[in-house]
């Protein structure tokens, strides 16, 4: 199998995997955005700053330029962090499944004919 065929199989499988997990992924992203906007209200941040904080925290980057000062927003930030870990795990799992699809043995036409002749 050529590398071009493997890339095609990988892309097709990745799209299929994302279609399967999309309801969960979109739910996790919606929860993260909602929690981030609540934190923005508590901390008196602009919506852009709140979303920036949400994804920097959710992707476990944590620059530290925006820091929640109130206890309720700190608890919500922890929930955003856990949601980000779940999101990263889902994307990684979909990618691994797509990679496995490129290594799955695929019988070519000749092998299939021989298998049918043996029956």
Digit-coded pLDDT (tens) for 66-113:
999 999 999 999 999 999 999 999 999 999 999 999 986 665 545 555
Digit-coded pLDDT (tens) for 11-65:
999 999 999 999 999 999 999 999 999 999 999 999 999 999 999 999 989 999 9
CA–CA distances in Å: residue 13 to residues 23, 59, 94: 17, 24, 9
- Please report, for the chain, the start and end positions of each structural domain, with discontinuous segments joined by +: 3-103
Contacts of 20 (CB under 8 A, 6+ apart): 94
**Topology (CATH) of 3-103:** Helix Hairpins (1.10.287)
37: Cα separation from own chain's centroid:
21
Q: What is the pTM of this model?
A: 0.79
CA–CA distances in Å: residue 65 to residues 26, 49, 62, 94: 27, 10, 8, 32
Alpha-carbon dihedral angle through residues 93, 20, 50, 46, given to the nearest 10 degrees: 150
């Amino acid at each position: 199998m050529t590398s071009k065929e493997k890339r095609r199989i990988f892309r097709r499988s990745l799209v299929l995997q994302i279609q399967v997990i999309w309801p969960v992924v979109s739910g996790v992203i919606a929860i993260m955005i909602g929690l981030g906007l609540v934190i923005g209200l508590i901390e008196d941040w602009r919506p852009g700053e709140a979303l920036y904080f949400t994804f920097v925290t959710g992707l476990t980057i944590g620059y530290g330029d925006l820091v929640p000062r109130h206890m309720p927003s700190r608890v919500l930030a922890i929930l955003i962090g856990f949601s980000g870990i779940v999101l990263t795990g889902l994307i990684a799992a979909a990618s691994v499944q797509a990679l496995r699809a490129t290594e799955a043995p695929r019988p070519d036409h000749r092998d299939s004919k021989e298998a049918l002749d043996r029956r």
